[in-house]
Amino acid sequence: MIEIENIHKAYNGTPILNGISGKFEKGKTNLILGASGTGKSVLLKCIVGLTLPDEGKVLYDNREFTTANKTVKTEIRREIGMLFQGSALFDSKNVEQNVMFPLDILTKMPLDEKLDRVNFCLKRVGLEDTNKKMPSEISGGMKKRVGIARAIVNSSRYLFCDEPNSGLDPQTSILIDNLIKEITVEYDITTVVVTHDMNSVMEIGDNIMFLHKGNKLWEGNNDNITQSDVEELNDFVFANKMMRNLKKQSNAS
Amino acid sequence: MFIANIGKYFMFLGSLFVNRESFSTYFKLTIEECSLIGINSIILVAIVSSFMGAVTTLQTAYNLINPLIPDYVISLVVRDMTILELAPTIIAIIFAGKVGSSMAGGLGTMRITEQIDALEVMGINSSSYLVLPKVIASILMYPLLVILAGILSIMGGYLVGSLAGIISPTDYIYGIRFDFNEFTVMFALIKSFVFAFLVSTISSYKGFYTSGGALEVGIASTQAVTTSVIAILFADYFLAQLLL
């Protein structure tokens, strides 16, 4: 489980996050939801340590991360897998080398064991026979799946996904969402997904934290998100005509 | 701003040596970088240095019109100019243009596409992992490029001098060997180590801290070359003042 307590962050005097607290549970897909520019990615960066919060704490299974020394931080980081918005695959390495990278650096596994693990993870994300392809030769959806394979190859305990559906078609988005959900349950890991995609919310939102202008306005799950009385959340959820019509129909019945 | 940048640069240098990965990781990366930095620069260095020697020979001969000055002075001038200045300094400027811009561009692209963030999240010291092999490879390969440039420059002068009938091969060789001070070679090598360090660290620094998009990567590459060249010229002056 990951806990965040009173996270504050400002850039050049402009507050981005105003005292965000919450819990991200193990074995569940925890979503950080909000419109663009609400501080979702900044919060994620604070949690994984890419940005230091001005105030507040991040605890990984009760291990303080924000103020920990380098050794502890590195130890925790080596249990983290992350899928970046643009996949962040290493351009100079092929798919196999990209997925094998954490094993090369962080373990002393023999090569055949590493290859077995890489092939297992690639198979798990549905990418057999792509080992020798370069990132420039595969589609956006495939890149995301390689990114997921790289994130789980080292048996990570925590999986972070920054807008995993950005730039993908709706069908591929659902595939990626389901893959994240399945992996979370299968490996019993703590998954945090930053998204603004309502399809993701409805598909995989076990725990949802809604941010608006740097504040946490609502917390719940995909079953009760449509019944919220938070105006900003309703504006976000029912932003499109189809959702508004559905709400009207539901109210009428 | 300038002072802050200098401070940040030194902190960046410090970060290269902390929280490192295993020796074998760096060894493999350094060999790869040696190939990228050294082997891939050989042709350019060879062309530039050969022509540099040829042109220096022609221009020295053009200026030495007094019949009292013996012909071998031409090759003596070519030798000293090549070893003291042209091979280490001019090739350093070429090195900054080719290797420095490539380092800054590569690291800048990695930064904006979150590849550096990916390394950090994995618990890897990204500056050390990405930059240290480049710095070591530059320090290993650039002096070799300077030696190659020196030899080819003197050979270029020999070829042009002989073919154009400016100086006989015997006089050329005599001038090259006349009153030779071995310290000039040592001086050129010291300069090459310093220049390699400056180009690789400044360019990496510029690339590593790129923020924004493709436009900023281009700006970082340009700044890497400009700053490296200025640093080379300052270091060149200080080393000459200090060691000669």
Is A251 a member of any domain? no
Question: Contacts of residue A78 in chain B, CB cutoff 8 Å?
Answer: 122-123
Task: Please give the model's pTM, rounded to 2 decimal places.
Answer: 0.88
Is the pLDDT at B89 greater than 80? The verdict is yes
Report the residue from B114, B117, B122 with minimal CB separation from A105.
B122
- Mapped onto helix, strand or coil, the DSSP state of residue A20 is strand
Sign of the CA dihedral running B221, B226, B227, B232: positive
Is the pLDDT at A245 greater than 80? The verdict is no
Report the residue from B18, B114, B123 with minimal CB separation from A86.
B114
The complex's ipTM works out to: 0.87
Over B131-153, what HEC string results? Answer: HHHHHHHHHHHHHHHHHHHHHHH
How many angstroms separate the CA of residue A248 from the nearest CA in chain B? 42
Question: Contacts of residue B19 in chain A, CB cutoff 8 Å?
Answer: 70, 74
Is A154 a member of any domain? yes
Is the pLDDT at A239 greater than 80? The verdict is no
Is A246 a member of any domain? no
Report the residue from A49, A74, A88 with minimal CB separation from B118.
A88
Model confidence at A126, in pLDDT bands (50, 70, 90)? confident
Q: Which range of residues forms the domain containing residue A40?
A: 2-228
Report the residue from B114, B115, B123 with minimal CB separation from A77.
B123
CB-CB contact of A42 with A17 (8 Å)? yes
How many angstroms separate the CA of residue A166 from the nearest CA in chain B? 14
How many independent structural domains does chain A possess?
Answer: 1
Is the pLDDT at B24 greater than 90? The verdict is no
Taking an 8 Å cut-off on Cβ atoms, the answer to whether A105 and B114 are in contact is: no
Q: At what angle do helices B214-243 and B183-208 cross, to 10 degrees?
A: 150
Over residues A218-233, the pLDDT tens digits come to 898 888 888 788 888 8
- 8-state DSSP, A163: S
Region B199-205: mean pLDDT is 97
Is A239 a member of any domain? no
Taking an 8 Å cut-off on Cβ atoms, the answer to whether B19 and A104 are in contact is: no
Question: Contacts of residue A88 in chain B, CB cutoff 8 Å?
Answer: 113-115, 117-118
Ranking A88-102, A232-246, B102-116 by mean pLDDT, the lowest is: A232-246
Q: Which residue has the higher pLDDT, B48 or A224?
A: B48
Is the pLDDT at A238 greater than 90? The verdict is no
Ranking A13-27, A41-55, A216-230, B28-42 by mean pLDDT, the lowest is: A216-230
Is A248 a member of any domain? no
Q: How far apart are CA A92 and CA A37, in angstroms?
A: 32
Sign of the CA dihedral running A8, A9, A12, A14: negative
Model confidence at B172, in pLDDT bands (50, 70, 90)? very high
Is the pLDDT at B185 greater than 90? The verdict is yes
Is A217 a member of any domain? yes
Which tokens go with A241?
A: 């005509």
Over residues A173-222, the pLDDT tens digits come to 888 888 899 889 988 999 999 998 888 888 888 899 999 999 998 898 88
CATH number of domain containing A56: 3.40.50.300
Is A23 a member of any domain? yes
Model confidence at A112, in pLDDT bands (50, 70, 90)? very high
Highest-confidence segment of A158-172, A224-238, B114-128, B189-203? B189-203
Q: How far apart are CA B212 and CA B190, in angstroms?
A: 37
Is A113 a member of any domain? yes
Region A119-133: mean pLDDT is 89
Q: How much is the mean pLDDT over chain B?
A: 93
Over residues A41-85, the pLDDT tens digits come to 999 999 999 999 999 999 999 999 998 888 888 889 889 999 998
Residues of B with CB under 8 A from a CB of A: 18-19, 21, 25, 109, 113-115, 117-118, 120-124, 129
Taking an 8 Å cut-off on Cβ atoms, the answer to whether A74 and B121 are in contact is: no
